[in-house]
Amino acid sequence: MKLSFVFSVNGIVEPLSLGCCMTHEHLSIAFNVAYVEPKEEDKHMVNCDFTTQNIGWIRQNPYSHKPNLVIEEAEVKAGVIAEVKKYHKLGGGTIVENTTCGIQRDINFLKQVSSETGVHIVAGTGYYINAAQKATVLKIPVEKMVEVMVHELEVGCLDAPNIKCGIIGEVGCSWPLYDFERKSIQAAAETQQVTGCPVIFHPGRHKDAPEEIIRIYEEAGGAVDKAVMSHLDRTIHKLDDLLDFAAMGSYCEFDLFGLETSHYQLNIDVDMPSDAQRIERIKHLIDHGFGDHILISHDIHTKIQLESFGGYGYCHILRNVVPKMLRRGYRQEDIDKMLKINPQRWLAFTK
């Protein structure tokens, strides 16, 4: 008999107990690797205060404001806990935290959030993009990567031995891929094959990146039906291309809900879609039979996305997006699949 279970930072959870799930969030992060040098005339804004006079500039230039890239101060973490409590009251049951090697993580804080809010938190192992890594990490062979990830999934985290990770990811990829990132994908596949764990990828900012990642992962032995491709809302913009990718069999994640500034600093050639456009694209996938393959989230990774700094916060999907989806022709069963059934199936280890 096969048993299915999910590893949260507070122990094993039965999949049916997860409730509504946000599959791509960050609760504590130092995202300095994403810093973008501002225009000469804006350099005085790099460390400006979060004031009503400055907030518009920060929203337009979130990656050029250094304080915005860090969610780790004690008072900010207190605000995160307060928001997650609101999320729980609205019906939120689980948050998947995607911070991995190369980006400073705080596993013990994740346990604190879960304990104080009643929300299950699932932590990620693995490696973020090449640009975020120290020179010593870039030299790690695939075998060592697998060893580290298996340990964090089955024994305990290297920085918190009594806490286990529950996913691999987000596995960071650039466009084009660096050799380190290709190794990281292969290591994720080998670890998935050994453990039966879920995997989530951060694709490079090019429409062909998701397909390339899945092919490398599958060729290395990873189960495609246990893989999630993140950030499709900023990566694949044509509906036919979305359908082609969905047919490859991975989960398709639209995880930037609440980011509606069309100017996308990390790829200025792309227009960041609005929530309305995200809802339209997801509906297109559902109408073509891919409702079992869709996940949604906010990917909160900057202060400006938090409620305490003027953002929509972790409650946005439950509070604002779901009602709009229902008004745009979604059925409740479509919502339940995205927020409950699909995450349960993806997150479950089976042994």
Amino acid at 99: T
Q: Give the model's pLDDT for residue 1.
A: 42
Q: Give the model's pLDDT for residue 39.
A: 96
Q: Give the model's pLDDT for residue 351.
A: 62
Which CATH fold would you assign to the domain 4-350? TIM Barrel (3.20.20)
Question: Which residues of the chain, if any, have pLDDT below 50?
Answer: 1
Phi, then psi, of 167 in degrees rounded to 5: -145, 165
Q: Give the model's pLDDT for residue 350.
A: 76
Give the integer Cα–Cα distance in Å for 213 and 248: 11
Q: Give the model's pLDDT for residue 3.
A: 61
Q: Give the model's pLDDT for residue 4.
A: 86
Q: Are β-strands 167-172 and 120-125 bridged in parallel, bridged antiparallel, or unpaired?
A: parallel
Instruction: Give yes or no for a contact between 103 and 132, defined as CB atoms under 8 angstroms apart.
Output: yes
Q: Give the model's pLDDT for residue 2.
A: 60
Q: What is the dihedral of CA 235, 240, 182, 31, to 10 degrees?
A: 10
